[in-house]
Amino acid sequence: MSAVGDALKAVRNAILLEERITSQSRKLEQLALSVVEMDKRLSALEGRMEGFLAAASAFGAGTSRRAKSIEAAQKDPPGLPPTQVG
């Protein structure tokens, strides 16, 4: 009977190993999907940063800050009618 018992024990161990492998396979697939999603997010962030850096260099980063159009517009002195922009 010990031979039959050993055979059943070996079959049981094989089934448990198969279940563990299947479980680990599912976890690995989920991990791979997470990595792909993070890679997409990182690529999007890198693209944005490259765009910001390109825009900053196009506008002369490192030089004095340009005045906003509101700051650059001259205000009418009080008491005078506003000038019309044409």
What is the residue extent of each domain of the chain? Answer: 2-59
Q: Write down the pLDDT at residue 65.
A: 58
Query: Rounded to whole angstroms, how far apart are CA atoms 53 and 46?
Result: 10
- CA 67, 71, 74, 75: dihedral to nearest 10 degrees? -170
- The DSSP 8-state label assigned to residue 86 in this structure reads -
CA angle at 53 for the pair 47 and 58, rounded to the nearest 5° = 125
Per residue of the chain (86 residues), what is the pLDDT tens digit? 699 999 999 999 999 999 999 999 999 999 999 999 999 999 999 999 999 999 888 887 555 556 566 655 555 556 655 565 54
pTM of the model: 0.51
Q: Write down the pLDDT at residue 32.
A: 97
